[in-house]
Every structure is written in structure tokens, then in C-alpha cells.
């Protein structure tokens, strides 16, 4: 298995700058997910790695060796688009053997390799079946088997689950992750679905408009998003953003309507010292909002605007100052509309209100002056 490095990659299509100078690495055996909205350059990046597109600038390295000049067939990669792209008239055996037959390997070698893949993917006994006689999970494994049989150094998967319904996608996520671990396969997986990314990745590469926004573990991108884009793209319901003014003299944050006023701790003031604007955005995840039965220190008064019962949780929409924010509460907590509640924040992110970059994340307690 190979380690992959992408260094300063640019790719243009006429006037469109699809990828604008991105750099990242994927370690041997790592499961990396490129996450970003449609059109942000994910497929273009994969195609450059695969050798299907020529970079305008930048290098692709496999195990430290530059592969820019190598043809796709020389790069020893497996590129999978959709797991259902099986040949319908061929059996499981022939589907998996297909790439080896195309390479004209000796019969015995083909037999051995196909057997090995069938064994590894738990497909023994299904060799003679046609795709239509398989379950969705089995089909996925056959498609993967067809990619694996060539013993690639790197797996490149481009939205492979996108044509499945939601239930199936959920199951496939788990199976895919388990299989990747078992094979120890260096994998770059592309998706626009943040749940897929969060649930499977060792490392998430968040992209927008041809640029990398953040590289981090699922934990890092969730708890310490690098900017407003990442904060907004990850999590559902999305992070709440409260626009504030920073009163530097008084060491306070005030939201625009005056409904929130937070005397800041030294740690918070220190972090805010680095920015040149007084526009600050407090980001709070709906899951990081705590309810209190009455007024309490470091709790903010809010009015209940709407309750969305989702079964496992209630999403409580709250009016705070002039804004409506969402909080995730226990299903048993169902306040009536217009009721007064008190909330505090377990964790917050602060953002530069102009550029949108993160100033830092901290526990809610750490934000307030004692």
C-alpha cells in the first residue's frame, strides 16, 4: 500500500479554476475523505491522482515518487465510481476476474487471485450468481472485489454510495469502513455528505471552491472548525452563529440586538486580541446548548419559538436577542411556545466576523469572566 502526497495541485478547465493549489497527504493505510459541496473540485482532484487529468501545476507523489508522467494503468490505483457498475450478464466470478483477463494474466494466476478476493470479501458460494441475484451489500463487495483483484496501492472512491437509498447507505458506511480496516488499504473517498465523512474517515479534507478549508480528524473539524464554512458544513442541525460586537475596553461581547452580553475571560480576550475587527461571531452547536430551570450564572435568557420533535431528540428553536437559534434537547423536554428558558453553552467557537476564520474554540465556561 502506498502513501499519497498531493503538492500544490492546480487544475483549470478554460476559465474555470477547478482546483487552486491544494496540498495534502494520505498516509499508508489511512482512510481519507475529501468532503465538500458539489463543484468544489473533489472529482478533479481524484482524477489528477488517478492520472485521468493532467495537473496544470503541482505534483502527485506515491511513496515519495513523482507519478505525474505515469499513465493511469501504470499508477496501480483502483478508481471506483459507483458500486453498482457491475457487468449484469457476467457472474460474480467473471465480474471479479474481468480486469485480470483484460491484462491477459495466466489462467492459474487469475484463479488464485479471484479465490483470494472471494475469500477476503466473504463472497464464497456466490461465484456463479449474476448481479441481479445479489443483495445490495453483496453487489458492493463484488464491485470492490473487482477493484481489489488488481492489488492496487491506492483506492480512489468517488461518491460510491450516492446511488443508494438512505437506509442502505447507512449500512454500507459501516461495512465499507470495516472492510477498509481489514484490508489496511490507503483510501481516498470523495463525498458531499458530511455524515459519510464523519462516520468513516480517519482524516477529513474539507474543500470549498477549489481550496482546502481544513484538514483534521472528524473530532477536530467538528469541535474546532477552521472557519465559518467548515463550521456550517459539518453537523446537523448546523452550528448557530451569533453576530456580536467586541467591546475591547470593557472586555465584553454583545450581540447586535443587545440580548446577549458576555463579560469575557482573560483567555477569551487574549484570543480576540489577535483580530483587527470588532465583529465577532460566536458559534454554538445545537448539541452544546444546555437548559437550566431558572436564572443561573452564565446562563442567557431565551424565549421558546418552536419545538421540533424528532423522536430521539427535540430540536428547540429559541429566540435570543434578535436571532433564532436551535438547541438539541432530550425528547422529554418540550417547553411551550413563548415560555422563558435559560441556556448556557458547553462549548463555543469564536470567529472573526469579517474574514470568517476561527479565532479558537473553548468550553463555554472558559468564555466568561469569573
**Which positions lie near Mg ion, rule CB under 5 A?**
43
The 3-class SS string of 49-61 reads HHCCCCCCEEEEE
User: Of the candidates 113, 100, 112, 12, which has an alpha carbon nearest to the alpha carbon of residue 57?
Assistant: 12
Residue 136 CB neighbours (<10 A): 16
Spatial separation of the C-alpha atoms in residues 113 and 263, rounded to whole Å: 66
Q: Indicate the residue among 19 and 272 with the shorter CB distance to ligand ADP.
A: 19
Residue 111 CB neighbours (<10 A): 14
- According to CB under 6 A, which one of 33, 43, 225, 264 is a site residue for ligand ADP? 43
User: Of the candidates 264, 254, 238, which has an alpha carbon nearest to the alpha carbon of residue 325?
Assistant: 238
- Identify what 213 binds: Mg ion, ligand ADP, none; CB under 5 to 8 Å per kind: none
Q: How far is the CB of 147 from ligand ADP (least distance, A)?
A: 19
Q: Which stretch binds ligand ADP (CB under 6 A): 39-47, 65-73, 213-221, 361-369?
A: 39-47
DSSP 275: -
Residue 275 CB neighbours (<10 A): 18
Q: Which stretch binds ligand ADP (CB under 6 A): 38-46, 121-129, 306-314, 362-370?
A: 38-46
- Identify what 240 binds: Mg ion, ligand ADP, none; CB under 5 to 8 Å per kind: none
- Identify what 44 binds: ligand ADP, Mg ion, none; CB under 5 to 8 Å per kind: ligand ADP
Output the nine-digit C-alpha cell for 96: 471479479
User: Of the candidates 79, 25, 175, 62, which has an alpha carbon nearest to the alpha carbon of residue 34?
Assistant: 25
Q: Indicate the residue among 26 and 97 with the shorter CB distance to Mg ion.
A: 26
Q: Indicate the residue among 43 and 214 with the shorter CB distance to ligand ADP.
A: 43
In this structure, are residues 233 and 206 in contact, taking their beta carbons and an 8 Å threshold? yes
Spatial separation of the C-alpha atoms in residues 156 and 48, rounded to whole Å: 11
Q: How far is the CB of 79 from ligand ADP (least distance, A)?
A: 13
Any contact of residue 41 with ligand ADP (CB under 6 A)?
yes
Q: How far is the CB of 53 from ligand ADP (least distance, A)?
A: 8
What is the arrangement of strands in the sheet containing 203-208, beginning at the earlier edge strand? 77-80, 154-158, 187-191, 31-35, 203-208, 211-216
Q: How far is the CB of 164 from ligand ADP (least distance, A)?
A: 18
Any contact of residue 208 with ligand ADP (CB under 6 A)?
no
Q: How far is the CB of 321 from Mg ion (least distance, A)?
A: 40
Q: Which residue has the cell 476476474?
A: 97
Spatial separation of the C-alpha atoms in residues 115 and 107, rounded to whole Å: 12
- Identify what 194 binds: ligand ADP, Mg ion, none; CB under 5 to 8 Å per kind: none
Q: Which stretch binds ligand ADP (CB under 6 A): 34-42, 106-114, 196-204, 249-257?
A: 34-42
Q: How far is the CB of 24 from ligand ADP (least distance, A)?
A: 15
Any contact of residue 80 with ligand ADP (CB under 6 A)?
no
Q: Are strands 203-208 and 31-35 parallel, antiparallel or unpaired?
A: parallel
Any contact of residue 44 with ligand ADP (CB under 6 A)?
yes
In this structure, are residues 337 and 304 in contact, taking their beta carbons and an 8 Å threshold? yes
Any contact of residue 38 with ligand ADP (CB under 6 A)?
yes
Any contact of residue 259 with ligand ADP (CB under 6 A)?
no
Binding site for ligand ADP (CB under 6 A): 13, 16, 18, 36, 38-44
Amino acid at each position: 500500500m502506498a502513501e499519497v502526497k498531493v503538492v500544490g495541485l492546480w487544475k483549470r478547465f478554460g476559465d474555470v479554476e477547478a482546483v487552486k493549489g491544494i496540498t495534502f497527504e494520505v498516509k499508508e493505510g489511512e482512510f481519507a475523505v475529501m468532503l465538500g459541496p458539489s463543484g468544489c473540485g473533489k472529482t478533479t482532484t481524484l482524477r489528477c491522482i488517478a492520472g485521468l487529468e493532467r495537473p496544470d501545476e503541482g505534483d502527485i507523489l506515491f511513496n515519495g515518487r513523482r507519478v505525474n508522467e505515469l499513465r493511469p494503468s501504470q499508477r496501480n490505483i483502483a478508481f471506483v465510481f459507483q458500486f453498482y457498475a457491475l457487468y449484469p450478464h457476467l457472474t460474480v466470478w467473471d465480474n471479479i476476474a474481468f480486469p485480470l483477463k483484460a491484462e491477459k494474466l495466466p489462467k492459474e494466476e487469475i484463479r488464485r487471485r479471484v479465490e483470494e478476493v472471494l475469500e477476503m470479501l466473504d463472497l464464497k458460494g456466490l461465484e456463479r450468481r449474476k448481479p441481479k441475484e445479489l443483495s445490495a451489500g453483496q453487489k458492493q463487495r463484488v464491485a470492490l472485489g473487482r477493484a481489489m483483484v488488481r492489488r492496487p496501492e491506492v483506492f480512489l472512491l468517488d461518491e460510491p454510495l450516492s446511488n443508494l437509498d438512505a437506509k442502505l447507505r447507512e449500512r454500507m458506511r459501516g461495512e465499507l469502513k470495516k472492510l477498509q480496516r481489514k484490508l489496511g488499504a490507503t483510501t481516498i473517498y470523495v463525498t458531499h455528505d458530511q455524515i459519510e465523512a464523519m462516520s468513516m474517515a480517519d482524516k477529513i479534507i474539507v474543500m470549498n471552491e477549489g481550496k482546502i478549508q481544513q484538514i483534521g480528524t472528524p473530532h477536530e473539524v467538528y469541535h474546532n472548525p477552521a472557519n465559518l464554512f467548515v463550521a456550517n458544513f459539518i453537523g446537523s442541525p448546523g452550528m448557530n452563529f451569533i453576530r456580536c460586537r467586541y467591546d475591547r475596553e470593557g472586555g465584553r461581547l454583545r450581540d447586535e440586538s443587545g440580548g446577549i452580553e458576555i463579560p469575557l475571560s482573560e483567555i477569551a480576550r487574549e484570543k480576540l486580541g489577535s483580530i483587527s475587527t470588532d465583529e465577532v461571531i460566536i458559534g454554538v452547536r445545537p448539541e452544546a446548548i444546555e437548559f437550566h430551570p431558572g436564572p443561573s450564572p452564565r446562563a442567557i435568557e431565551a424565549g421558546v419559538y418552536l419545538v421540533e420533535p424528532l423522536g430521539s431528540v427535540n430540536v428547540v428553536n429559541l429566540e435570543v436577542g434578535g436571532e433564532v437559534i436551535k438547541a438539541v434537547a432530550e425528547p422529554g423536554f418540550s417547553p411551550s411556545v413563548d415560555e422563558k428558558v435559560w441556556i448556557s453553552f458547553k462549548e463555543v467557537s469564536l470567529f472573526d466576523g469579517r474574514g470568517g476564520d476561527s479565532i479558537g474554540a473553548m468550553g463555554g465556561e472558559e468564555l466568561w469572566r469569573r
